[in-house]
Chains A and B, each alone.
Chain A
Amino acid sequence: AQKITQTQPGMFVQEKEAVTLDCTYDTSDPSYGLFWYKQPSSGEMIFLIYQGSYDQQNATEGRYSLNFQKARKSANLVISASQLGDSAMYFCAMREGRRGNKLVFGAGTILRVKS
């Protein structure tokens, strides 16, 4: 069974500083994809970044980067130069195999950016 663990229920970060949100996963499928989503208080899920299990390099998207350590089964999200608008819930999710679009989500981490 697939499982996603986010051990940080809540995090605080000072504006303009970097923050790392932790995510570990468990799967027996060698082919999988890892996603990070942001959910502001409005409720809509916003895609941030994707990492495939066969990708050799860590994914980056603007201020977001994914620290992918395959042997440790971790996929931590790094947000650089935090902004007040980054305050939201962040979810790590995984999709297994090559059929379908079922995502399994972690419990999420609430991030609060302080000015």
Chain B
Amino acid sequence: KAGVTQTPRYLIKTRGQQVTLSCSPISGHRSVSWYQQTPGQGLQFLFEYFSETQRNKGNFPGRFSGRQFSNSRSEMNVSTLELGDSALYLCASSLEGQGLAYEQYFGPGTRLTVT
């Protein structure tokens, strides 16, 4: 079974631009979560989508948005990029949306550099 895939793996953008990152979950998984990882702030939850609906949202500004398609693939968008948005963006998928025992499978991440 294929794992979680993220594209692109690396990205360089300029301040003020916008960027879209893509995540394809494991087949059959309906929950997709996004995390930002930086050396200063560590791993922080961005948002979770389940069956095309945003179910949880972290404490990030409105410049960060996402969506999920009917095939469970998800995209996240960051508008008006800032230098501080440089990070590793990790996507995770889970088999079921409720319950505590469902592990999240992470993708390899997209490393975004903003110059």
Residues of A within 8 A of B (CB): 31-33, 35, 37, 42-47, 50, 52-53, 91, 93, 95, 98-108
Contacts and interface: CB of A to CB of B under 8 A. Distances in A.
Contact of A100 (B35, B55, B105, B108): B55
14 contacts: A32-B100, A37-B106, A44-B107, A98-B98, A99-B97, A101-B33, A101-B48, A101-B50, A103-B43, A104-B45, A105-B35, A105-B42, A105-B43, A105-B44
B100 A102 contact: no
A106 B42 CA distance: 8
Contacts of B103: 35, 47, 50
Contacts of A107: 42
A43 B99 contact: no
Contact of B92 (A31, A45, A50, A100): A45
B74 interface: no
Given A33-B100, A98-B99, A45 B48 contact: no
